[in-house]
Homo-oligomer: A and B are copies of this chain.
Amino acid sequence: MANEKLWGGRFKEATDRRVEEFTASIRYDMRLLRHDIEGSIAHAKMLGKQGIISNEESEKIVAGLISIREDIEKGDLRFSVSLEDVHMAVESALIERIGEAGGKLHTARSRNDQIALDIRLYLREEAATILQLLAKLNETLLKRAKEEIDTLLPGCTHLQKAQPVLLAHYLLAYREMFHRDSLRMRSCYEGINVMPLGSAALAGTSIPIDRGYVARLLNFPRISKNSMDAVADRDFAAEFLFDTALIMMHLSRFCEDLIIWSTDQFGFIEMADSFTTGSSIMPQKKNPDVAELIRGKSGRVYGNLVSLLTLMKGLPMTYNRDLQEDKEPVFDSVDTVRSCLEIFEGLIGSTVFKKDKMMQDAKTGYAAATDIAEYLVTQGVPFRKAHAIVGRLVGYCIEKDKNFDELSLEEVKMFYEGAKTEIFKYFDVERSVAGKTVSGGTARQAILERIKEIEKEREVS
């Protein structure tokens, strides 16, 4: 046999060495070793229970697999590239250790359903970790929101001062986004949590296996329903890549704000020294590198999604080797999102909010303009007219370089004849915020209600 691969029966020439290297996935799929062995143990136990192999063989296989895992973890065992992938590497090591019985492990199984199982075991675990990290970040946001329940922030649209809001409101807006991310990731988890083993190469098997038993051993609530689909499907991975892309999108927006807020000109925040870095040439610099890197890393996570979608496009049924390329983007997005969530939680947890500057900026820029317009509405002025009146008033203020609170009643009357002294109350930004008691609004009371709601939900879940 020129080709000593486990699949080499019909081959006459050895595999080209460059091809061996090119097709091998063992450099990166060793990350699945723990899951591969976990799956193989369950498979071996089932083969034994069903009498497909003897109980003794089954036990030998299980013991062999455990010893391989231990040796790898201790660093006593290393696999060569010629072993192609983690599955072949484990199987070869097993045969070497326990002899002929090892050759029985792959009964009623193909690498096609085995790899589908391994990735699902892996991703199930990682999805759970990401859910925890999202929860932890949201805890921190909630904590900081409570701390900043009285801090005023000039709320922006178009990055222009629009209306004053509470900083707590801003922080909880991101909590909503990450909460949606959690819901999506939980739904993704459900899609991952399906047991494909027993689909074999594509058609199922004629050997009397018990798929439900394997599922129970591996704690899967469901088994896959169509063997062809089971080996061809990577929807769950694509969904995972999309869900992580949205997490990164949210983080990129948050980081953008923090980067702008930490400029001299804004001066809304001071990041901790431990979460910033300096310049190799400019001694005065303290750069928001962490926030920038997170923002930039949205690129790679988007790229990973495009990568998988591209490779799946137009693939004929069922398994094609192209699918081997699913793993690296998934691994990379897992690593990226995990580290970004963790680091960002530290960053936002240690950032100092400079309330005075925020307050000062909230007070200027005519942020109460809408409130005055809304006040005019209560005086019977149609909103469109009220909007125009206040618009012209703002124009006048800019020309005269005045803030609202520097106007006299006479000046106001130039634009709205009916103006009374009480209108000046509406020039106050704190009153503006306090008035937004509508559900979901930025008034202290509305926010406290929302916090109560969130805390209640948390208890339940």
Contact = CB atoms under 8 A, between A and B. Distances in A.
Given A100-B382, A199-B440, 18 more contacts: A6-B384, A9-B392, A10-B394, A19-B275, A156-B316, A162-B279, A173-B226, A176-B226, A204-B440, A206-B435, A211-B440, A223-B439, A253-B314, A283-B388, A299-B309, A302-B309, A303-B329, A306-B306
A35 interface: no
B309 A324 contact: no
Nearest to A177: B229
B390 A284 contact: yes
26 contacts: A7-B391, A8-B391, A9-B283, A9-B389, A9-B395, A10-B286, A10-B392, A13-B274, A16-B272, A155-B203, A157-B285, A157-B319, A158-B288, A158-B289, A160-B286, A173-B229, A180-B191, A204-B442, A205-B436, A205-B438, A207-B374, A263-B266, A292-B320, A293-B324, A296-B311, A303-B310
B387 A256 contact: no
A9 B388 contact: yes
A111 to B, nearest CB: 5
A235 interface: yes
Interface stretch (A65-73, A126-134, A359-367, A406-414): A359-367
Interface in A159-180: 159-165, 169-170, 172-177, 180
A343 interface: yes
Contacts of A223: 439-440
Interface in A272-328: 272-290, 292-293, 295-300, 302-325, 328
A379 interface: no
A312 B249 contact: yes
Interface string A230-263: 1111010011001001100100110111011011
A87 interface: yes
Contacts of A228: 155, 165, 169-170, 173, 442
A265 interface: yes
Contacts of A231: 157
A225 B451 CA distance: 10
Contact of A289 (B23, B246, B438): B23
A23 B290 contact: yes
A219 interface: no
A354 to B, nearest CB: 13
Number of copies: 4
B313 A226 contact: no
A318 B440 contact: no
A394 B5 CA distance: 16
A337 interface: no
B278 A346 contact: no
A31 interface: no
A10 B284 contact: yes
Given A158-B319, A311-B298, A325 B293 contact: yes
Contacts of A233: 176-177
Task: Return the 5 tightest CB-CB contacts between A and B, nearest first.
Answer: A9-B391, A204-B441, A296-B322, A303-B307, A7-B278
Contacts of A260: 159, 260, 316
Nearest to A339: B22
B278 A9 contact: yes
A111 B277 CA distance: 13
Interface residues of A, number: 204
Contacts of A175: 226
A138 interface: no
A56 interface: no
B274 A322 contact: no
Nearest to A85: B280
Contacts of A374: 107-108, 205-207
A214 to B, nearest CB: 11
B394 A284 contact: yes
B339 A311 contact: no
Given A106-B384, A264-B161, A9 B394 contact: yes
A202 interface: yes
A325 B313 CA distance: 15
